[in-house]
Amino acid sequence: MVEYMERDSRLGLCPARAPRGGSSMKVWKRAIGAVTAGALLAASLAGCSGDGTYSADMAEYAYEKGAPSLCQAYEDYFQVGAAINPRDLEEGSDRYKIIDKQFNVFTLENGTKAENIHPQEDVYDFEATDQLVEYGQANGKTVRGHTLVWYSQCPEWFFLDDQGNQVSAEVLIQRMKEHITTIVSRYKGKIHTWDVCNEVLDDSFGLRQSEWLNIIGDYDGDGDSYDYIEIAFQTAHEADPDARLILNDYSLEANGNKAITMYNMVKQLLEEGVPIDGIGLQMHIDYETDLDAMDRCMRVLGRLREIDPDFVLEVTELDMSCFTWNDTSTQRELTEEFVQQFDEKYCQVLSLLMDYAQEGLLDTVVFWGYDDGSSWLNEYPVEGRTNHPLLIDRELKFKSAYWALMNLPQQRAAQAAQEE
């Protein structure tokens, strides 16, 4: 069984034991550093929205020829990507021009999820994923596969027999293995990274209750119920030994208990030899996101490098809602004050991610979409809501947040030079 960490009111966590490769004193010092990092971050971001090399005079619409490139601006830190849909790959269209210039890593928003790629036991639909992979290969773009095993958007046939009865653990494992092997093998050497399992944790503590968990359970009898996760990663690795395999979840940057639970689970799995290469932080945040908490949570997860020196963190689904979670309103007035707060928060988040990139812990940041009009945050979690969570507006015009982020790397470099 996993040995969970206990929370500490001062530092957010206290290790139950020193992890492999480091002493408890080293962990203590790192935790203290995590607490102070947020305060240092705020001081480093003065003038986020100020003057810079890039300005709205360069291009009004994101598809204009004179538009700069977001992924080029951050090439010294990490790849910058977006979740897209088949319509974005229509060559010559405005949307194609945007994604082709702005991003160098792509995820299909829905096309590779089980309900779409494997809707029936004997039916696969590879069209959308093939299209993205072909585009990626032709244009030197990185492709991520999302997702192989998830409790949602998964057809019922996985879990039921012909009579509508729940299948056995053996049957479900065989179906899962066949699903993973068929898909990952088809794209071997073409899809760089797979979100193998998605959203496996409960928001409070432990594993999320799902049909995967409830049917397979503690299959090997070793006392824990991580078995479906283990089998999924092992199967994906066998199908493509060179693919990066990610365990993806939400709120890991905000929920300290969830981050600690993830750390403990992955630590145990790594020590048992399960081929997990990294953790994906979805990072669906809002304009009031706590940067200190984000840093503390990411520090917890970053300690997995003490077990695997090559372990990585990825940001896989970044967007920033204009509404806090408990806000039930449907409209947000985009006042000058609010827009400034929104832009500054995006800069603070990206600056923190750049810090992790400089430490070698993070090399990929993917936005969940790229224009406000196509975002899943419209209508969710509140019906009738209009949201503005991304860097390009509904008319495909650049927002001020885009220009602020374009200037951020140069501003950081200039500040670093002044401090030398």
Tell me the catalytic residues: 199, 249, 317
Tokens describing residue 208: 């999320």
DSSP SS3 for 394: coil
Q: What angle do CA 319, 323, 324 make, to 5 degrees?
A: 95
404 contacts 341 by C-beta, under 8 angstroms: no
SS3 195: strand
Q: Which residues does residue 377 pair with via DSSP β-bridges, in sequence order?
A: none
Say if strands 362-367 and 79-84 run parallel, antiparallel, or are unpaired.
parallel
Token look-up 């598809």 returns 63
C-alpha span between 139 and 184 (Å, rounded): 21
Q: Amino acid letter at 282?
A: Q
Q: Rounded to whole angstroms, how far apart are CA atoms 48 and 410? A: 11
Taking alpha carbons only, the member of 279, 297, 278, 284 closest to residue 352 is 297
Interacting residues of 273 by C-beta distance below 8 A, sequence separation 6+: none
The H-or-E segment that residue 280 falls in is strand 278-281
Question: For 105, phi and psi rounded to 5 degrees?
Answer: -145, 140
With a CB cutoff of 8 Å and minimum separation 6, the contacts of 272 are 230
What Rg value do the Cα atoms of the chain yield, rounded?
Answer: 21
Residue 185: strand, helix, or coil: helix
Pairing verdict, β 105-108 and 79-84 = parallel
- Reply yes or no: is the peptide bond before residue 182 cis, omega within 30 of 0: no
Q: Which residues of 282-314 are buried (b: 16+ CB within 10 A; e: fewer)?
A: bbbbbbebebbbbbbbbbbbbbbbbbbeebbbb
What residues contact residue 141 under an 8 Å CB cut-off, 6+ apart? 103, 104, 105, 106, 135
